[in-house]
Structures are given as structure tokens and as C-alpha cells.
Amino acid sequence: MNNFAIVGATGLVGLSFLQLLQEKQILPQKLSLFASENSKGKILKFADNTYSVQTLEKGCFQGVDVAFFSAGGAVSKAWAPQAVQEGARVIDNSSTFRMDPEIPLLVPEVNAHHLEDQQLIANPNCSTIQMCLVLSPLHSEFELESVQVATYQSVSGAGAGALEKLKSESLSYLQGGSSYVAFNCTPHIGNITEDGFSLEDTKMCAETRKILDHPQLNITAFTVRVPTLFSHGEVLWVSFKKAPKHRQHLLDVLQKQKGLKVMTAIDEYPDNSCTTGEDDVFVGRIHQAPHNPRQWLMWVSADNIRKGAALNGLQIAQLLMDKTSKKN
């Protein structure tokens, strides 16, 4: 099970997937790279080889074991079922299939037990992934009562075009030009619906309930786009049904979570610039609410392109490969 395809190979997440494959020394026997018509014929290097980017067409997934989709919802909706029909396992990074009750939504460190023999697996939202790495062990030990989250999400979450826009606007603004993205915060991600929540707010809440197997979880989110390049930051207000005995008790629980780095000093926290390029999710500034012993506050940061997308997808692929090797 070592023939891979990447759909959206020239985007930020696709390129990160290639980088991670090389870093982890996971070298496919066959690698197929797909992107839009604009990128057709572009040459990408991987493991001392060069690959020509192709466009999607019927039959292109034949012989592919795992296809990683990161080219947007419309592409996933049209082509992921085709890839499955042609025999590939699909790991989809769009929101298209995340809330389908028949399709697992996986953060491998949290709910790998949901992976059975499905041909299509959904990769969660980047901001949801890092939050669930923190919430999962806390829920197991103390039982979540409610969660409020405010996010501070980098522009790379909106793609390579947004990243370049931030860079160009920053230079322009410093020379007297106007700015929309640079030096600005936008208090919504996606359209704002009639109830006042943005699409990103709603996605975070629904996905978290599904990943944690907690459909009645009282959770609200307020997502903000900020003018940083990479890594998302989040402030969590977490209330428990069972109060931790003391701060160290809560820290001990968090430190057992695989993939999570806990900064234990009361004044210690992870800068987004420090978490960029890292595989782990980081949590710090962990402190108790002054008038509620069952509510705790903390700051969470992670690289939204690595753990928030490509790395999580690669970890899912590794689970698939492990399951296949055990069967054989």
C-alpha cells in the first residue's frame, strides 16, 4: 500500500505533504501529483526525482493506494467518489464529507478507533484539530461541561494567494498604500449567517462534537483572521463537571496526551512563530478562572499547514497502511 496521489499538489498543503513524506522517509513506490489546469506540466521535485503535475481525468486513480485531496470542496465533491470507485483510499482535507455520519472524521491521537474499513476519511478543520488534542484528555479525566474558544488564525489558512497578499500589502502599506489584510484583524472566517456565527465558527463546534463523541457538548467559537503568516492561536475557556484537584493535576493529564507539548510555568506560552514548522500542538498560559474552580483558561498554538492539515492526513495514511499490513 505504497502508491500515493496528491490532489492540490502545488498548494500550501500539497507541498507540505510532499515535504513531510521526505522528512519522515516515507517514499512511495509511485507518486502521482494533480492540480488545476493552470499548473499542468509544472515540475515538482521529490526525493531526488522530478514529477510533472497532471490534471484529473477518468482513470487517473487506478493503481493508487492512498489519495490525499487538498484542492477545495468542489474538487473533492466531484472527484473523491471517483477515486474511491477506482480503488483508492481517500483522505479529504475539505469540509465536504466531515459531517457525514458514515465517514470518520479523524485526529489519530484522539479517535483512531473510528477507522475501520472505510474508503473515504475526512481530515478535520485545522483549528479543530489543535483544539481537540487539548480537549480530549481533559474530557476523559474531568468531563467537559462547556467550551468557549476564540481563534487567531493566520492567513495561510486561506491559501497561498492570501499569504502573498499579506506580504505585498505589508510592503505597500509601509510605503503609504492601503491595506485590507496587512495590519488588520477580521472578526469572521467565512460568511456570517443569520444567527451571527461565521461558517468557521460553526464548523469548529460541529466537528469537535463529532471527534470527541460528545454530540451535546456546549461549545461556542469566535474565529478571527489575523495578519500572521503561519500557525493558528486559540484561547480556550474550558469548564469541567469534575474540578481538577489542583493545577498540577490538570497539567499531568495534558502531559499524557501524545502529540501535545505542555508549557508548565504559569507565565509560559507558545508563540505562533515558535510553533511554525513543528509537528506538535503546544499549550501554555494555563490558569484557573478566579471565581470558578471548574473553569480553566489556556492558549493553544499549532502549525495550521502541518498538524492542521498535511501531517494529520499523513498520520491517517499511516494508520491505513498499518491496518493493511496487519491483515496481510
Write out the catalytic residue numbers: 126, 232
Task: Give the three-state DSSP class for 260.
Answer: strand
Rounded Cα distance between 201 and 225, Å, is 12
Pairing of strands 295-302, 232-240: antiparallel
Rounded Cα distance between 211 and 182, Å, is 34
Instruction: Give the length of the chain.
Output: 328
Rounded Cα distance between 323 and 316, Å, is 11
Residue 139: CB partners within 8 Å, gap ≥ 6? 212, 214
Q: Are 225 and 153 in contact (CB under 8 A)?
A: yes
Task: Give the three-state DSSP class for 31.
Answer: strand
Element (H or E) spanning 128, and its range? helix 126-142
Pairing of strands 43-46, 49-52: antiparallel
Residue 14: CB partners within 8 Å, gap ≥ 6? 6, 7, 8, 33, 35, 68, 70, 71, 310
